[in-house]
């Protein structure tokens, strides 16, 4: 979900208070040495940033206030882990702004296109569309990892499908809470009127994440950081 209106000062401040510590923890805890040591994972890292930003262009705008789109943060977290997922999500939001500028701008209209962007909303988008679904996926991975039932479908379906579905509801609850506590009346009014969209997003979100998680785990299991053969395929 993307905020299409400039956020209020209170909303911006609250979002920064949540986004900056989370991003700081991600930058500090990210496995930079392992990433630098494997060229294949480097390519996957940069491809995920570009693909995620491009995918987020496919959004439905509601009253020029909020944009709804599949997040795909569950599968990104499953493949790269929580720390790199947050970094990928943050860079994908920047890539999204660049894509919009490239698509809407021209030699004569770049200034107008630049003014149509909303960089002040990046902290809000980062908290709602990146931190919340990635953190929820991390929790689901922890719960599945402690489950005694050993089967790859607990990974594909439990995390990739059902976990991603529920992340839509958590994102909606986080958005309601954040907008309500900061007194952001315009986006809150849109959520009150169109809150059912979070329910409608559940199946496509679960299907996209579950399908991608299945493909990557089957074809490139070594690329999926959170998948362990000895657990899911053990005796």
HEC secondary structure over the chain: CEECCCCCHHHHHHHHHHHHHHHHHHHHHCCHHHHHHCHHHHHHHHHHHHHHHHHCCCCEEECCCEEECCCCHHHHHHHHCHHHHHHHHHHHHHHHHHHHHHHHCCCCCHHHHHHCCCHHHHHHHHHHHHHHHHHHHHHHHHHHHHCCCCCHHHHHHHHHHHHHHHHHHHHHHHHHHHHHHCCCHHHHHHHHHHCCHHHHCHHHHHHHHHHHHHHHHHHCHHHCCCCCHHHHCCC
pLDDT of residue 109: 53
Q: Could you tell me the residue ranges of all domains in the chain?
A: 2-232
- Residue 173 pLDDT: 94
- The pLDDT value given to residue 120: 86
pLDDT for 75: 94
CATH of 2-232, one of 1.10.3470, 3.40.30, 1.10.101, 1.10.1760: 1.10.1760
Q: What is the mean pLDDT of each run of 10 residues along the chain (235 residues)?
A: 87 95 96 88 93 89 84 93 96 89 60 62 94 95 79 82 93 94 90 89 92 88 76 58
**What pLDDT is recorded for position 208?**
93
What pLDDT is attached to residue 166? 94
Q: Which pLDDT score, from 0 to 100, does residue 144 have?
A: 84
Question: pTM to 2 decimals?
Answer: 0.91
């Amino acid at each position: 979900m993307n905020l299409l209106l400039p956020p209020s000062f209170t909303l911006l401040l609250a979002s920064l208070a949540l986004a900056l510590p989370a991003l700081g923890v991600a930058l500090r805890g990210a496995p930079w040495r392992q990433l630098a040591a494997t060229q294949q994972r480097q390519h996957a890292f940069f491809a995920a940033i570009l693909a995620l930003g491009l995918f987020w262009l496919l959004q439905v705008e509601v009253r020029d206030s909020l944009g709804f789109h599949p997040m795909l943060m569950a599968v990104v977290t499953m493949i790269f882990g929580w720390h790199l997922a947050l970094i990928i999500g943050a860079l994908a939001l920047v890539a999204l702004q660049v894509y919009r500028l490239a698509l809407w701008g021209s030699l004569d209209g770049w200034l107008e296109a630049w003014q149509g962007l909303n960089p002040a909303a990046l902290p809000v988008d980062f908290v709602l569309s990146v931190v919340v679904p990635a953190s929820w996926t991390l929790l689901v991975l922890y719960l599945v990892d402690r489950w005694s039932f050993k089967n790859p479908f607990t990974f594909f379906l439990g995390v990739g499908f059902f976990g991603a579905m529920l992340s839509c509801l958590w994102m909606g609850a986080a958005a309601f809470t954040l907008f309500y506590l900061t007194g952001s009346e315009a986006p809150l009014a849109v959520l009150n009127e169109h809150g059912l969209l979070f329910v409608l997003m559940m199946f496509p979100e679960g299907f996209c994440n579950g399908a991608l998680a299945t493909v990557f785990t089957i074809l490139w299991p070594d690329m999926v950081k959170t998948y362990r053969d000895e657990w899911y395929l053990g005796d």
